[in-house]
Amino acid sequence: MYPDEYRYTREHEWIKLESQRATVGITHYAQEQLGDIVFVELPKVGAHFAAMEAFGTVESVKAVSEIYCPVSGTIEEVNASLSDNPALLNQDPHGKAWLIKIRVDDPAELASLMTAEQYEAFIRSSEQAES
């Protein structure tokens, strides 16, 4: 379910690093919790965000959720297809429905994020805490 080559945040974003560039999205768990996603607000290309700074918003019918930049970096590209088809985030959150591509300030920052295995344990424990 959760690709091994990605890293994950406690706020349910994923990040995939390829040399200095990274792709960022929200996780399957996040889209499942949100339910039907109907609106996505993304930043402008060129904007810079610090690690865990909010860079956009995802809204489902029932909830508004901020999305956080897993590491600091500069926006190079946003996924424009989401503004007309936000439901793609429910269908393919780890693939076609990526949110942003960034130039990463310091790839070493990724070391503080969770691996797929750690993230799966993290969502299991938050689910247990809920029930």
Partner 1 sequence: MTSFGGFDMPVEYCGIIDEHIAVRTAAGLFDVSHMGEIEIRGREALTLVQYITSNDVGRLAVGQAQYSALLRPDGTFVDDLVVHKISDIHYLLCVNAANREKDFEWIRSHNRFDATVENTSDTYTQLALQGPRAAAILRQLTPLDLTALRTYRFAFDKVCGVHSLIARTGYTGEDGFELYFDPAESEKIWDALLEAGKAHGLLPAGLGARKTLRLEACYALYGHEIDETTTVWEAKLDWICKPDKGDFVGREALRAQKQKGIERILVGFEMRDRGIARDGYPVLQGGAECGHVTSGSYAPWLKKNIGFAYVPLRASAPGTRLYVRIRASELAAEVVPTPFYKRPK
**Residues at the site binding partner 1, with contacts judged by CB under 8 A:** 35-36, 38-39, 41, 57, 59-62, 64, 83
> In this structure, what DSSP letter does residue 115 have?
P
Which of 59/105 has CB closer to partner 1? 59
CA–CA dist 118, 14 (Å, integer): 13
User: Token pair of 8, please?
Assistant: 């994950």
Which of 74/83 has CB closer to partner 1? 83
Of the candidates 7, 1, 6, the residue with the CA atom closest to the CA atom of residue 112? 7
> In this structure, what DSSP letter does residue 49 have?
E
The CB-of-85 to partner 1 minimum distance in angstroms stands at 13
The CA distances from residue 99 to 25, 58, 76, 96, in Å, are 5, 10, 11, 9
Of the candidates 34, 32, 23, 10, the residue with the CA atom closest to the CA atom of residue 121? 10
Which of 57/112 has CB closer to partner 1? 57
Which of 35/95 has CB closer to partner 1? 35
The CB-of-14 to partner 1 minimum distance in angstroms stands at 22
The CB-of-32 to partner 1 minimum distance in angstroms stands at 10
The CB-of-111 to partner 1 minimum distance in angstroms stands at 32
